[in-house]
Amino acid sequence: MSENFADLFEESLSQLSFNPGSVIKAEVIEVNSSYIVVNAGLKTESYISVAEFKDNEGKVEVEVGDQVDVVLDAIENGCGETKLSREKAKRAVTWIALEKAHDEGNNVKGTIIERVRGGFTVELERVKAFLPGSLVDVRPVRDPSYLEGQELEFRIIKLDKKRKNIVLSRRDLGGENEEALEALQEGQEVVGIVKNLTDYGAFVDLGGVDGLLHITDMSWKRVKHPKEMLEVGEKIKVVVLKYDRDKNRVSLGLKQLADDPWRDIGRRYPIGSRLFGKVTNITDYGCFVEIESGIEGLVHMSEMDWTNKNIHPAKVVGVGTEVEVMVLELDEERRRISLGMKQCQDNPWDAFAATHQKGEKIKGNIKSITDFGIFVGLTGDIDGLVHLSDISWTETGEQAIRNYKKGQEVEAVILAIDSERERISLGVKQLEDDIYVHYFAEHPKGSEVTGKVTEVAKGVTVQLDDGIEGKIKLADISRTRVNDASDFFDVDDEIKAIVIGLDKKSRFIALSTKELEADTGSDAPANTTLGDLLKEQMEKE
């Protein structure tokens, strides 16, 4: 029996659900810049705004011939046309998926799009849901703004399709998240969201548990504050360094994802090699110089300049300054490199030693006067020391140093150059001949000398020539026992004596009047003075 097309069409329509809100299939038959024409097998074709067919980037996501889900909005719109909606169909499909997830206890994915009173609005594929502030995380969060704009997982705790009401939670995440946490292993690479930044590191949300990324594990190079590398809300890949399941504590690392720059460092930077680097930090005891990313070495203040040993590093370099350094020491195990800046400059001590020699006369200005001598400025901005004992032949160092002032120009003789120990010894008295040397030569042991008594104490001090002194011990005054030198001598007495001892090193001259008394052959009583003995001898002659 034959049937016409109209009868068949009416029969097919009778089998469809024409209730408003029903989801039906339709074929795209035309794509226009303003609308999309679809055929849902109804009496007429339907026109749907092209905006309902665009993705998040604004591109039309269908082509002619595609089958799409649409919602029957109205059978008659007043013009004899059937009104269909692609947008409502998408939401309807989403609701079906959400109901299924809620019934089966599965997690859903969504994006926090805005903050509202009491919590946040979350978009779940064109369906809006509410996330209470108290359910944002496993633990209370002071500032959950780091989650805004992030695609996260949620658990549906309440769903009412009629009222279009969905309530979500991240505190009660389970299922796949719990399984993922159970599977968390040390050495595993995971992706998380930076939740909070502190002075000592960053807390990373791994989805149900927080991991701590310590500042020392962020980079191989020095990091002053985590904000230099990370931002709250940033998604990062990290490696699990340690996971304590009992306490739900996870230690994370970021630098471990990159090669360790300290590996084989001794081969790249052997001791004595010179290279350039940038100053990254300045301390009271030196500065740190980065010679490559993740590799910093310390230039101690004593290795910054040949002459200014105690100058503050900040007066020599600044952060960011490019400097040339030399590798002095390297400890790969302790990750330490000692660098030197002065070693890349000419050593002024070596230069001085190459251009000057012992015995040479030199001039310079006094830079400082200390308890032990005078520092004289020399070429190359180095100092030479005139020790107290090398100031004068005749005066004590304490007396002689009073004749000098800071800034005064002085002439001296180079006594010694020790470039390795960075010492130059100078002498002022060496500009003149040693008067003791001449005196010793002219007055050998056994010579008779004359002089004036300058001090009478436990012994007698006698001035022989200008700047030359001799000493008479009590035992060398007379053949008789002497308890008090003042019984024999007074200050300013002119006397004669015999030289009985010479010490060139200490410049000491030992005298004796007893020897002279013995030469007279006198048998004078013990209380007879040397003057009386001499007078008696003259009368006999």
pLDDT confidence of 405, banded at 50, 70, 90?
Answer: very high
445 and 524 co-located in one domain: yes
Least trusted range by pLDDT, from 13-22, 39-48, 146-155, 259-268: 13-22
Which residues lie across from 37 on neighbouring strands?
30, 47
Kindly state whether residues 165 and 186 are assigned to the same domain: no
Predicted confidence band at 411 (pLDDT cuts at 50, 70, 90)?
A: very high
Angle at 321 between CA 315 and CA 325, to 5 degrees: 90
How many structural domains comprise the chain?
6
Q: Residue 524: pLDDT band by 50, 70, 90 thresholds?
A: very low
In a domain, 99, yes or no: no
Q: Where residue 323 sits, what CATH number does that domain have?
A: 2.40.50.140
Q: Is 445 in the same domain as 420?
A: no
The per-residue pLDDT for range 419-429, each reduced to its tens digit, is 888 899 999 98
Are 216 and 271 found together in one domain? no
Parent domain of 313: 265-344
Sheet strands side by side (includes 23-31): 46-49, 35-39, 23-31, 67-74, 83-85
517 with 463, same domain: the answer is yes
pTM (global) more than 0.95: no
Instruction: Please spell the DSSP secondary structure of 459-504, one letter per residue.
Output: SEEEEEETTEEEEE-GGGT-SS--S-GGGT--TT-EEEEEEEEEET
- Position 139 pLDDT exceeds 80: no
Tell me, what's the pLDDT at 529? 54
Question: Which one of 38, 60, 91 terminates a domain?
Answer: 91
Are residues 352 and 283 both part of a single domain?
A: no
Structural domain includes residue 253: yes
> Averaged over 240-247, what is the pLDDT?
81
**Could you tell me if residue 98 is inside a domain?**
no
Please count the CA atoms within 13 angstroms of the CA of 276 that sit on its side-chain side: 4
For 163-194, the pLDDT digits (tens) are 888 898 887 665 545 555 666 788 888 888 88
CA–CA dist 511, 469 (Å, integer): 10
| 251 and 307 together in one domain | no
Flag whether pLDDT at 417 surpasses 60.
Answer: yes
Average pLDDT over residues 281-285: 92
Based on the fold, state whether residues 84 and 120 are members of the same structural domain: no
Give the pLDDT mean for 449-465: 90
Is the domain of 205 the same as that of 237? yes
What's the one-letter identity of residue 215?
I
Domain match, 163 and 183 both: no
Residue 140 has pLDDT above 70, yes or no: no
Phi and psi angles of residue 348, each rounded to the nearest 5 degrees, phi first: -65, -25
- Tell me what pLDDT residue 407 has: 93
Q: Specify the 3-state DSSP secondary structure of 90.
A: helix
Q: Which of 137, 169, 201 is the last residue of a domain?
A: 169
Output the pLDDT for position 373.
93
Establish if 100 belongs to a structural domain.
no
Torsion (CA) 126, 130, 133, 136 in degrees, nearest 10: -50
**What is the tens place of the pLDDT at every residue in 324-366?**
999 999 998 888 999 999 999 888 999 999 999 999 999 999 9
448 and 468 inside one domain: yes
Question: Domain boundary residue among 389, 408, 431?
Answer: 431
> Among candidates 279, 257, 259, 261, which has minimal Cα distance to 269?
261
Pairing of strands 468-472, 508-512: parallel
Extract long-range pairs of 34-40: CB within 8 Å, 24+ residues apart: 36/60, 36/62, 36/86, 38/68, 38/70, 38/84, 40/70, 40/72, 40/82, 40/84
Encode pLDDT of 77-86 as tens digits: 555 566 766 6
Residue 191 lies in a domain: yes
pLDDT band at residue 150 under the 50/70/90 scheme:
confident
Indicate if 412 and 455 belong to the same structural domain.
Answer: no
pLDDT for position 452: 92
pLDDT score of 56: 66
Secondary structure letter of residue 126 according to DSSP: T
In this predicted model, which residue has the larger pLDDT, 449 or 53?
A: 449
